[in-house]
Amino acid sequence: MYIAPKLATTSALLTASQMAEADRLTVFSGISEARLMENAGRPVAEAIAQRWTPRPVIVLCGPGSNGGDGFVAARYLLAAHWPVRVALLVPVNQLKGAAAHHASLWQGAIEALTPDALNGAGLVIDAIFGAGLSRQLTGAAAETLAAAAARKLTIVAIDLPSGLRGDTGENLGAVAAVLTITCFRKKPGHLLQPGRALCGELVVADIGTPASVFDQITPDTFENDPALWAAALPKLKVDDNKYSRGHALVLGGYPTTGAARMAARAAARSGVGLTTIAVPEHALPVYTAALTSIMVSGLKKAADLNHLLADIRYSAVLIGPGAGIGATTREQVFSILGADKATVLDADALSSFKDDSETLFQAIKSPCVLTPHEGEFARLFNITGDKLTRARAAARKSGAIIVLKGNDTVIVAPDGQAIINANAPATLSTAGAGDVLGGIILGLLAQRMDPFLAAAAAVWLHGAAAESFGCKLLAEDIPDLLPAVFSQLEAAN
């Protein structure tokens, strides 16, 4: 089974339990729990003061460490001459540990946490619950936050908006914040939808947690960032030629031809030396009229594809965009998977196996990347749960790298390592964008980049290219935007 390379912890995402362990290890290293809470609450006040002028603030505090952070933030804002009030979900004598300590340092009144506490406030700090909440938000906490949203008050969340699951991004009653301040590392729920949208602007504060905590914590989820894969990007050598740079093969369909052509152009713009589209012979005039540097090969019979695949100069293959759903595509997929080449299966190549996915999975032996959107995923996998859990189960079941697409695309290797992407602009919700992504993955695979890293890099490059264009993006714009993004990466590294 393919084993993905280990990734840099600088981009690690921590679950609620892993973050709790990081805090425990930090305290064990010599930083007191009270000092750690001070370090967590102070950046909240600083972030607010950097963004707004003084206005009446109500700090909504919960019964645990999140509430303790709220008391610290309240104290610092008050010291900076902001008008601040505090409302607490439980009686103050129920607080324990560092939270009780910081509550005792608050010199003002402590109100009951109810919607009435919002009266007169211009800014709300949500310090009720953090990432550990795994139940539906109810009672006074839910009512007060709902009232704050209804009144359109500015809400700033500590760690996560209360009611948002840190491990999954699931909404259990949270309302949207305009700013969220978390500590040390982000959590999956900060990036997975709807959590990403609910968090607003996200700030990660340094609270003194030593990097040595990763000697005992082994993360398996990461935010997509060039730091993970930039060193593995294919690089031109002075003695390169078009053959040494790899040869990408795209299977094109008919009468839908635009999808494969966009994928091929994306592969070519990703740096591969040669790109060929293999198409039904009767479609040759359509493809040759629309392409220049990309070669076109006609397929008259099934054996013609096998002949192409026997050529060792083809280093990676993509099938799916515009291929058509049915037996012909299925047989082509089996031929490709039997050729022992790096493969990308997208769109129709996935939907063609909606009634017999196990047969597809059994045929996957070489490095393979599956790129389903949610609809294709549901047709191929009978798996439920949150997005990260489903993608992990699918990668394990199929033996392939899964790129589960969306505004929060998740890339998962069969061994369970996962990367969550967060740079995709809304403009990518346009026809053909997924075909272009498949082509970028193909281009990097054809240049013999590690498949897990290639998939992650392609997703990030896809988002960065789209972001650089701005509004009114068309999928066909993306390939020509890639060279500038590659150049920026090379300059930065």
DSSP 97-133: HHHHHHHHT--S-EEE-SGGGGTT-SEEEEES--TT-
CA 192 to chain centre: 7
Considering the domain architecture, whether residues 212 and 243 belong to the same structural domain is answered as: no
What is the chain's Cα-based Rg?
Answer: 26
Q: For residue 1, tell me if it sits in a domain.
A: no
Considering the domain architecture, whether residues 411 and 380 belong to the same structural domain is answered as: yes
- Token couple for 29: 């290293």
Q: For residue 2, tell me if it sits in a domain.
A: no
Q: Beta strands of 160-200 (E only): which ranges?
A: 179-183
Q: Beta strands of 300-373 (E only): which ranges?
A: 316-319, 342-345, 368-370
Beta bridge partner(s), residue 419 = 222, 411
Phi, psi of 402 (to 5 degrees): -105, 130
Q: For residue 4, tell me if it sits in a domain.
A: no
Spatial separation of the C-alpha atoms in residues 468 and 274, rounded to whole Å: 26
Between the alpha carbon of residue 79 and those of residues 41, 54, 74, 75, 101, the distances in Å are: 13, 12, 9, 6, 18
Would you state the pLDDT for residue 492? Answer: 86
- Token couple for 74: 């309240």
> Please, which residues have CB within 8 angstroms of residue 431's CB and are 6 or more apart in sequence?
475
Would you state the pLDDT for residue 4? Answer: 86
Among 217, 240, 256, the domain boundary falls at 217
Among 217, 239, 258, the domain boundary falls at 217
Q: For residue 265, tell me if it sits in a domain.
A: yes
Would you state the pLDDT for residue 445? Answer: 98
Q: For residue 177, tell me if it sits in a domain.
A: yes
Spatial separation of the C-alpha atoms in residues 370 and 343, rounded to whole Å: 9
Q: For residue 257, tell me if it sits in a domain.
A: yes
Considering the domain architecture, whether residues 186 and 231 belong to the same structural domain is answered as: no
Q: Could you read off the pLDDT of 239-261 as tens digits, one per residue? A: 988 989 999 999 999 999 999 99
pTM of structure: 0.96
- CATH at 50: 3.40.50.10260
Spatial separation of the C-alpha atoms in residues 395 and 402, rounded to whole Å: 6
Considering the domain architecture, whether residues 237 and 177 belong to the same structural domain is answered as: no
82, 143 contact by CB (below 8 A): no
The dihedral through the CA atoms of 160, 161, 166, 169 has a sign that is negative
Would you state the pLDDT for residue 132? Answer: 73
DSSP H helices, 89-221, are 97-104, 139-150, 188-191, 195-199
Beta bridge partner(s), residue 275 = 248
- Token couple for 407: 């505004």
Considering the domain architecture, whether residues 358 and 318 belong to the same structural domain is answered as: yes
DSSP H helices, 400-450, are 433-446
DSSP class of residue 171 equals B
Considering the domain architecture, whether residues 154 and 303 belong to the same structural domain is answered as: no
Would you state the pLDDT for residue 277? Answer: 97
Spatial separation of the C-alpha atoms in residues 307 and 310, rounded to whole Å: 5
Determine the 3-state secondary structure of 398 from DSSP: helix
44, 183 contact by CB (below 8 A): no
Beta bridge partner(s), residue 274 = 247
Q: For residue 311, tell me if it sits in a domain.
A: yes
Considering the domain architecture, whether residues 137 and 246 belong to the same structural domain is answered as: no
Among 168, 184, 217, the domain boundary falls at 217
Considering its fold, how many domains does the chain have in total?
2
Would you state the pLDDT for residue 131? Answer: 85
Which portions of the chain are predicted below pLDDT 50? none
Q: Is 363 exposed, middle or buried (0-12, 13-18, 19+ CB in 10 A)?
A: middle
Q: For residue 3, tell me if it sits in a domain.
A: no
Considering the domain architecture, whether residues 375 and 453 belong to the same structural domain is answered as: yes
Considering the domain architecture, whether residues 231 and 213 belong to the same structural domain is answered as: no
- CATH at 371: 3.40.1190.20
The residue range of the domain holding 467 is: 226-492
Beta bridge partner(s), residue 12 = 222
Spatial separation of the C-alpha atoms in residues 360 and 38, rounded to whole Å: 54
38, 99 contact by CB (below 8 A): no
Amino acid code (one letter) for 89: L
CA 378 to chain centre: 19
Considering the domain architecture, whether residues 323 and 364 belong to the same structural domain is answered as: yes
- Token couple for 333: 């997929």
Considering the domain architecture, whether residues 147 and 251 belong to the same structural domain is answered as: no
Spatial separation of the C-alpha atoms in residues 409 and 420, rounded to whole Å: 6
Considering the domain architecture, whether residues 131 and 254 belong to the same structural domain is answered as: no
- Token couple for 259: 């999808």
